[in-house]
Amino acid sequence: MNFQLTRKRIVNTLLIGTLTLGLGSFNIQNASAQLDRSAFREIAQELNLSRSQMREVGGIMQNLNSEIEDILTPEQFELLQSTREQQQTQTPQELQTALDLTDTQSVQLTVVHEETVAELQAVLTADQLERIMEMTAFGQL
């Protein structure tokens, strides 16, 4: 597999995770979770998602968040969360460098990325999938 392609998949997974770190955690009662719900609703509305699609995408994102948390060290995950919460504008390459991923983590994130895209493809239309990728900074790559 092409190194550049693999690197993009890893970065894409982290970007999706950065965008969605709280989208699935609807039961957390704090301001951050409220903002996450609001952001998710805005994205869902812009993509014209049905209620069923919203539930399924929310579940996919919740699973993604859990998988990313399992792959990253607590320090890496905290850095990823703080980047999202502070809405820092880092390039994908800066984010990957800041997290200092191991080779094993890179492989695991590549697998998670492929699985997540496949799950989203099963739920979203081609246009919705393209637009959500653009909204999650995939277009920067």
Structure tokens at 119: 């799950």
Q: How many domains does the chain have?
A: 1
> 31-68: b or e for each residue (b if 16 or more CB lie within 10 Å)?
eeeeebbeebeebbeebebeeebbebbbebbbebbebb
The range of the structural domain enclosing residue 104 comes to 3-140
- Phi then psi for residue 49, to 5 deg, are -80, 140
- Tens-digit pLDDT profile for the chain (141 aa)? 454 555 555 555 555 554 444 333 333 333 344 446 677 778 788 889 999 998 898 888 888 889 989 999 999 988 888 877 676 556 667 777 888 988 898 889 888 888 988 999 999 999 998 887 777 654 443
HEC readout, 1-29: CCHHHHHHHHHHHHHHHHHHCCCCCCCCC
**Burial tier of 86 (Cβ tally within 10 Å: 0-12, 13-18, 19+):** exposed
Structure tokens at 14: 């982290």
pTM of the model: 0.68
Q: What is the pLDDT of residue 34?
A: 41
